[in-house]
Amino acid sequence: MKVLFEVLVVCLFTGALHVAGANTQPEEMGLSEDERHVARRYAESAIASEISKIMDSMVQKNFVDFLLTQRQKKSELATAEEDPEQRLHNELLKLSQRETQKRNI
């Protein structure tokens, strides 16, 4: 949700810059046509770079979520195949580890 908000803000900012630039003549800004073209290309590439970074972070997050889900599924399958006594032992071990982690924090 936060990422979508960031993309929306970048898009709105880009639109505002485009509208502001369209209303101002190059002579009024003190820029030649070539300088204005270069500045516009720079702004567009900076925005594209930011969007690319946001998309990369989304892909990384989705990949980590996928890996965690796969690990949890394997753990559940292994637990289902164990005998009840072994399962109880593993659950107690997990609880003990969580308590140890809480104490360390």
Distance CA(62)–CA(58), nearest Å, equals 6
pTM: 0.43
Residue 66 has pLDDT above 90, yes or no: yes
26, 33 Cβ separation under 8 angstroms:
yes
Q: What is the dihedral angle through the alpha carbons of 39, 41, 46, 51, rounded to the nearest 10 degrees?
A: 150
Q: Which amino acid belongs to residue 29?
A: M
| Percentage above 70 pLDDT, the chain | 66
Provide the pLDDT for residue 68: 92
Check residue 82 and report its DSSP letter. Answer: S
With bands split at pLDDT 50, 70 and 90, how would you rate the model's confidence at 37?
confident
Q: Is the model's pLDDT at 26 over the cut of 50? A: no
31 in helix, strand or coil? coil
